[in-house]
Amino acid sequence: MVFSNAQKRQLRLLAVVFVLALGALYQFGFSSQSSNKTTFGFQLGKEWVIIHQWVIQSTTGSRIFAGLAIVATILGIFLVRANKSPVVGTGFAAFALVMSFLCWAANGKFIPMTGLLQGSLMLAVPLIFGSMSGLLCERSGVINIAIEGQLLAGAFASGVVASLTHKTTFGLIVAPLAGATISLLLATFAIKFSVDQVILGFVLNVLVIGLTDFLYKKLLIPYQQTWNTGPSFSRIEIPFIGKLPIIGPIFFNQTIIVYLMYLIVGIIVFALFKTKWGLRTRAIGEHPTAADSVGIDVNKLRFRNVLIAGLVSGLGGAYFTVGSVGSFGKEMTAGAGFIALAALIFGKWSPMGAVTAALLFGFADNLSGTLTIIGVSIPSEFMLMVPYIATIIAVSGLVGRVRAPAADGVPYSRGSH
């Protein structure tokens, strides 16, 4: 049997998961004996309920799920041998591994599953906005390291404006503009003056962090009543589907910003692969000279896409303030822009890949919080490393070839190729 390189990679990944599953079976199922019962809760609010909660003996649960993970990897191997995609097998194995881990980690405590997943989505929202911004830039050939700065600028502007006007809507309107302002700087220097884009993005981040810190200290703290007590959006439950068990409260009982995010992701997925704009955007990110030779104005389209990207991540910034707590806090984005960048790379520069990666990172982040709250003695710092470890694994090629757009970060000018 001869395997292609892609299949070899899939088998290598399955082998890693298989070893992990064996390790889980030993560590979670046999090395520590416990007769405690772990409870998984599936009800959050007033949604319709199929199962209220599920109780299982901790060690038994770990063993069952580790066993299922092993079965799923074997299924995956058979799928590869049958020339099919093993994603069902790997996906289920990963899920079973996480469940095995939860049964062991919770060890007799209560795990609110719906709440855990809802919280994961909420932590993933800024990551998704950020990675969509990065995607729009990098697919057109401009590296965007300034996502962090754009998010922070959006958060600051929307918080302050909503506070001054007492209107969340104004905060929502001004946030994308703040993000686009950072993009304007990025686009001008990167495209017009061919400045190194990594350095430029880094400098923009430092600029925004410094500026917001300064204004926070000189304006927002002393005059908190007028400048930093903004209102925030309340949740809107979508009729009917908001009542669906488990997925209702997770996806359809959210603020307007989250619904806007669904819309933006949908538009980007459609536009990037199905429209004229998308074809041209991908073209200028891969081979700008070729695009120019068929009459596409490369730098104009790049400029426009970088501005749109700023609008997207600026809007994502609003989620930190008017989307949740209302008021602005110093450096409140806390590296979300960089994790968004990691999600973009982990997702291989594809929109759905980036969204999936952002959700995974959100889950890892929220899991560490939840485990700390229910009193599990795993250092939360360890869980916070997960996104970065996952990205390193992704870039090292274990999950498939990661290839950036060919002209990513390369300024274009005619005749310089």
Residues that bind other proteins (CB under 8 A): 5, 271, 274-280, 282-283, 286-287, 289-296, 397, 406, 414-415, 417
Minimal distance, residue 1 CB to other proteins, in Å = 18
Output 63 or 280, the one with its CB closest to other proteins: 280
Q: How many CB atoms lie within 10 A of CB 397?
A: 11
Cβ(176)–Cβ(314) under 8 Å? yes
CA atoms of 16 and 93, how far apart (whole Å): 11
Place of tokens 């079965």: 71
Output 214 or 270, the one with its CB closest to other proteins: 270
Output 177 or 271, the one with its CB closest to other proteins: 271
Minimal distance, residue 396 CB to other proteins, in Å = 11
Helices 58-81 and 5-24: crossing angle in degrees, nearest 10, is 160
Closest Cα to residue 380, out of 390, 365, 392? Answer: 365
Q: What is the DSSP letter of 57?
A: E
Cβ(131)–Cβ(148) under 8 Å? no
Q: Token digits for 43?
A: 């009800």
Cβ(321)–Cβ(174) under 8 Å? no
Q: Token digits for 65?
A: 């799920």
Minimal distance, residue 278 CB to other proteins, in Å = 8
DSSP 3-state of 254: strand
Minimal distance, residue 400 CB to other proteins, in Å = 12
Which ranges constitute the DSSP H helices of 46-112? 58-81, 87-106
Minimal distance, residue 388 CB to other proteins, in Å = 23
Output 63 or 139, the one with its CB closest to other proteins: 139
Output 157 or 291, the one with its CB closest to other proteins: 291
Output 52 or 403, the one with its CB closest to other proteins: 403
Minimal distance, residue 178 CB to other proteins, in Å = 28
